[in-house]
Amino acid sequence: MNRIIQIVNAIEGYDPDALHVDKARAAIRACLAPVTQTERLPVREALGRVLAEDIVPAIDVPGHDNTAMDGYAVRFADLGPGETVLEEIGAALAGKAFSGTLGRSQCVRVTTGAVMPAGADTVVVQEVVTVNGTKVTIPPGQKAAQNVRYAGEDLKRGVPVLGPGQWLRPAELGLIASLGIGKVAVRRKLRVAFFSTGDELASIGAALKQGEVYDSNRYTLHGMLSRLGVEIHDLGVVRDDSALLEAAFRKAAANADAIITTGGVSVGEADFVKPMMAKLGEALFWRIAMRPGRPMAFGRIGNAFLFGLPGNPVAVMVTFYQFVREALLAMSGRTDDCALPMLKVAAAEPLRKVAGRTEYQRGILFRDGGEWKVKATGQQGSGVLRSMSEANCYIVLEHERGRVAAGEPVQVQLFEGLA
């Protein structure tokens, strides 16, 4: 296997000390490999997983030509330029077909989803007809073949509809079920181990000593990883101690596909975390031209990819969403573009920005009359986790950009999508 260092050094414009966010993303992407093992799961349990096989319909969906509306199935050729009176000869209900065949000037009452009666080619909606006993009066203006759904118009027998790498959302579960398929092959879940590093960290339940803070990063990470649907291995808080760090990294690398650590990768750190990463595997130490979240390590220990995130709680979330999320989704086997979409809206207020780094300000997207606008949450320090909680989006200010005036368009990335 190629060494990460070789792969990354080959990327044009790669500068570990002032790394453009796009180059950091490209570097990570160039090194990753997806998990290959698969398992077979019942359709419901496959939600959020990545398909590992072709889904080839053994049937047409729908299986028969059928009606798209409640009304009357007719022969279009019978309809004249004015009103036409037809004779109702029976009914076709969803699940209960009409067994006869329409002859000249006949019609059959139908409900939505009923198999099209033989001989009929058009459906006239119930609302426009006048019924008098078995006489049904059809007004002019009908179109040939209207309100008919054809066999196989959704899914065609023999034509693959989903393939390996497909992320399975509610729509795909329904689609697979519509083919009568009960189990599917998916990639196994990605295993992600993580731990926090730092002598100042206390775990919940312990009283805070002088200078200590509670470890919050493991909780945000737990939340973010849970939503990605990966298998989580929480290895706790690890002190700045070589033996303890080595044990934690070895344990993580033995089981996981990816290891995430927080803290210990900035310049002023005591020499524990970085030397250990370098000793046990390969590690690149980056200073990314971004705010928040400048320091970050990327590498590999054994078979596990390593993401050494900064310690500051906001920087953890930003680097996770900007680099780790996409990497983990690609490692899970997804083949679609997993990047978070950017939307353009007007800045409601001026925004401070320094050119030469990409900034991920915490923003509130809100409605101002009929128009969506965005403003910053206020205090933007990378230790102010409240700024994430108050926000519903990132305001992504591009590398080259300087100060933003009120009314200028800016890009935003939403924190939430369809639940």
Helix (H) or strand (E) segment spanning residue 248: helix 242-255
* CB of residue 195 to Mg ion, shortest distance in Å: 13
Tell me whether strands 191-197 and 231-238 are parallel, antiparallel or unpaired. parallel
Contacts of 393 (CB under 8 A, 6+ apart): 363, 364, 365, 374, 412, 413, 414, 415
* Site for Mg ion contains 198 (CB under 5 A): yes
CA dist., res. 68 & res. 34, Å (int): 43
Site for Mg ion in 288-347 (CB under 5 A): 311
Residue closer to ligand AMP by CB (options 71, 198) is: 198
312 binds, among ligand AMP, Mg ion, none (CB under 5 to 8 A by kind): ligand AMP
Mask for 261-280, x = binds Mg ion (CB under 5 A): --xx----------------
Angle of helix 273-280 versus helix 242-255 axis, rounded to 10: 50
Which of ligand AMP, Mg ion, none binds 213 (CB below 5-8 Å, type-dependent)?
A: ligand AMP
Minimum separation from the CB atom of position 198 to Mg ion (A):
4
Burial level of 399, CB count in 10 A (0-12/13-18/19+)? middle
Q: Which is nearer to ligand AMP, 102 or 201 (CB)?
A: 201
CB of residue 208 to ligand AMP, shortest distance in Å: 12
Phi, psi of 285 (to 5 degrees): -110, 115
Retrieve residue 10's tokens: 């080959």
> Which value, in Å, is the radius of gyration of the alpha carbons in the chain?
30
Q: Beta partners for 299?
A: 283, 306
Q: Interacting stretch for Mg ion, rule CB under 5 A, among 3-11, 38-46, 149-157, 260-268?
A: 260-268
- 39 contacts which partner out of Mg ion, ligand AMP, none, CB within 5 to 8 A by kind? none
Closest contact distance (angstroms) between CB of 265 and ligand AMP is 6
Q: Which is nearer to ligand AMP, 310 or 333 (CB)?
A: 310
Is 152 a residue that touches Mg ion (CB under 5 A)? no
Residues that bind ligand AMP in the complex, under the rule CB under 6 A: 196, 198, 200-201, 213, 215-217, 262-264, 266, 269, 310-313, 383
Nearer to ligand AMP, 267 or 405 (CB): 267
Query: Closest CB to ligand AMP among 215 and 257?
Result: 215
Q: Report what 313 binds from Mg ion, ligand AMP, none; CB cut-off 5-8 Å by kind.
A: ligand AMP
What whole-number distance in Å separates Cα of residue 259 and Cα of residue 191?
9
Q: What is the DSSP letter of 302?
A: T
Minimum CB distance to ligand AMP smaller for 71 or for 292 = 292
In the complex, minimum distance from the CB of residue 198 to ligand AMP, in angstroms, rounded to a whole number: 5
How far, in Å, CA of 147 to CA of 157, rounded? 23
Q: Which two tokens stand for residue 103?
A: 């002859």
Which among ligand AMP, Mg ion, none contacts residue 201 (Cβ within 5 to 8 A by kind)? ligand AMP
- Residue 257: name its binding partner from ligand AMP, Mg ion, none (Cβ under 5 to 8 Å by kind): none
Backbone angles phi, psi at 153, to 5 degrees: -75, -20
Out of ligand AMP, Mg ion, none, what residue 117 binds, judged by CB under 5 to 8 A for its kind, is: none
Closer CB to ligand AMP, 112 or 216, in the complex: 216
For residue 200, the minimal CB distance to ligand AMP (Å) is 5
Are residues 17 and 10 in contact, defined by beta-carbon separation less than 8 angstroms?
A: no
In the bound state, the residue with its beta carbon closest to ligand AMP is 311
Q: What counts of helices (H) and strands (E) characterise the chain?
A: 9, 24
Distance (Å, whole) CA 158 – CA 320: 41
Tokens of 11: 């990327």
Q: What is the dihedral of CA 13, 18, 24, 30, to 10 degrees?
A: 40
Minimal CA–CA distance to 27: which of 358, 283, 382?
283
Q: From the CB of 267, what's the least distance to ligand AMP, in Å?
A: 9
Q: Which residue, 136 or 201, is less far from ligand AMP as judged by CB?
A: 201
Pick 308 or 333: Cβ nearer ligand AMP: 308
Query: What are the residues binding Mg ion (CB under 5 A)?
Result: 198, 263-264, 311
